[in-house]
Amino acid sequence: MSIHHHHPADAAGFDALVKVVPVLVDLVPAGDAFDFPARTLLHAGPPFEALASVSAAVLNSAAAAAVFEGWAADRDDALQRLRSGDIALAAAQDHRCAVPLASVLSPSQCVQVVHDANRPDRRAFSSLNGGNGPALRLGLPTPNVVDHLRWLNGAFADAIRPGCRRGTALIPIADFALSMGDDLHGRTAAATGRLVETLAAGDAWPTMVTDFLAASPSFFLNLWMAATKCMLAGAEGIQGCSLVSALGANGHHVGIQLAGRPGHWVTLPSSPPVGRLDAGVTAEERLPAIGDSALIEASGLGAMGFEHSPLQRENFADFLSHQPAERARALLMAPHPAFERSKARVGLAAWQAVASGHDLIVALGIIDIEGRRGRIGGGLWSSTPELFQRALEGLHSTLGHP
């Protein structure tokens, strides 16, 4: 592996990242999985500096989660409690969680628990993917979002829990899926199919459960977000390491953390993804980028791994300024040795990103800024060189460099 020409702290970070072996080991309420802060909902991206920055979509999801938890009687009561500070918001990634788009995580929602087989105390968590119905990630204001949460975290979770507890290594599924044309963010159909086979393994599931999974090709996505969070954490705490260990957006700001400075967000205003909008939708209706799924691109997959996915390359051809393989080589350190079939490159180092002059691209769903219609399209968000530059300046300051 020729990463010796990299910054030594980044080479050490890469080695630590690829040693992580992410395994799905459990499905439990978030409040039982980790030290969940009281009366708090966890959201994507960096923390909000003020309630005024919280988009309508995130407020809708927060209200639905508060009703689901029994913290509020209805939506209006929930919104009032959020405004008064009775219910707080905090960044999911600061608790080793990853949440998609406008979703929020509450303590009674189940999380998929992923640990590192080599270091089982290194864990990461994600909520269950809500499929294509009234899913929490869409930021919808309707009561059926709460009903769906109850089913997903009740009867559905109960059915798949035994499968989750058997322990499923996730890199083999991911590597297989890339070889089948997934990118592991916008397209996870092959990965979901393989995961469902593994989880079922002869269990008799209710028809509603099998039907839901058959209609939810993105089911693997949330789980892979947790696996990615677990892998990126491998490099955390290596002094001077500029590998990206957190990346996400909250609809107002985008934030990044480097492995050499865990827990420290560097943020910039978020811009809307550029892409295809549903019929009748105007560019002004796009919420700026939102979601923790950007972690997947930060690891090297998703839009950064479009070379594996002909369909995604074709879908986004109009919006791609460079060949995917060229961008991956410029921005990512080296192939991951455990991705034997796909030879997927991983390791996004801020040093290399700044030197390359290339932007990181992230494929994201586009959410309605008014919080009425949910997903209104899909597109690409591009980082600015400034994001990595500012993160590097912060890293320098901790090393006592000028």
Rounded mean pLDDT for each run of 10 residues along the chain, 402 residues in total: 70 98 98 98 97 96 98 97 97 98 98 98 98 95 97 98 97 98 98 97 92 97 98 97 98 97 96 96 97 97 96 93 90 97 96 91 96 96 91 83 49
254 burial via Cβ count (<10 Å: 0-12, 13-18, 19+): buried
Strand 119-127 to 110-116 pairing:
antiparallel
Query: What is the strand order of the sheet 104-105 is part of?
Result: 88-91, 40-43, 104-105
Per-residue pLDDT at 118: 97
- Closest C-alpha to 371, from 146, 140, 144: 140
Domain ranges in the chain with CATH number 3.90.1700.10: 8-16+237-399
Task: Give φ, ψ of 141 to 5 degrees.
Answer: -90, 5
Domain ranges in the chain with CATH number 3.90.1710.10: 21-228
Beta-carbon contacts of residue 24 (< 8 Å; ≥ 6 apart): 112, 113, 114, 164, 167, 168, 170, 223, 227
The token pair that represents 262 in the structure block: 């865990």
CATH class of the domain defined by 8-16+237-399: alpha beta
Q: Give the DSSP H/E element, type plus range, for residue 365.
A: strand 361-367
Q: Are 153 and 209 contacting, i.e. CB atoms less than 8 angstroms apart?
A: no
CATH number corresponding to 21-228: 3.90.1710.10
Per-residue pLDDT at 183: 97
CA separation, residue 78 to residues 45, 86, 88, 125, 336 (Å): 22, 9, 11, 25, 45
- Closest C-alpha to 104, from 133, 76, 147, 69: 69
